[in-house]
Amino acid sequence: MRKITYLLLVLYTYSCVPAKIVKPYNSKTICVSMQADGRQVVKAWGQGANYANALEDAKANAINDIIFKGIYDGDPKCNKIPLVPEVNARTKYENYFNGFFSNGGSYNNFVTVFGRFYKRSITEGVTLEVDIPKLKQQLINDGILKAQ
């Protein structure tokens, strides 16, 4: 009888503790610094079945944020304005960007990995350097941006 009472007491105690909701990461891309030549160091997040997939997702997320959203968090010296400020540009140039962001797509030509700062199961946080001038020139060459 004592064992049953003890077991019920333990079960009751743990059932009264509220569940802790843990968000695994803040999914915003954060600017760490801006180099003199225009390259930007960012922290980005990605998810995947393994490290390689999560890393590719983080790289694509960082480039996507730089092109379409702009990066507002982090170092205030960083460029906050998106490279393509046109509304609905992702949809308008869908064919181009589907190829650009595909597996092994050309977005990889503009990103260098510095290291990882977060690892949990299928989530990776990585520090990347993005060559903004080279990326901008590529978008101009491909007709997405107008030369200034």
Summarize pLDDT for 110-121 with one digit per residue, the tens: 999 987 777 776
The 3-state secondary structure of 64-125 reads HHHHHHCCCEECCCCCCCCCCCCCCHHHHCHHHHHHHCCCCCHHHHHEEEEEEEEEECCEEE
Q: Report the pLDDT averaged over residues 61-67.
A: 94
What is the C-alpha separation between 79 and 59, in angstroms, rounded?
Answer: 18
Tell me the one-letter amino acid at 115: G
Summarize the confidence of residues 66-78 as an average pLDDT.
90
Using the predicted structure, report yes or no on whether residue 122 has a pLDDT greater than 90: no
Average pLDDT rounded to a whole number, residues 127-136: 94
Range of 6-10, 17-21, 76-80, 115-119 with top mean pLDDT: 76-80
Residue 11: DSSP 8-state? H
pLDDT band at 15 (very low <50, low <70, confident <90, very high): low
* pLDDT above 90: residue 40: yes
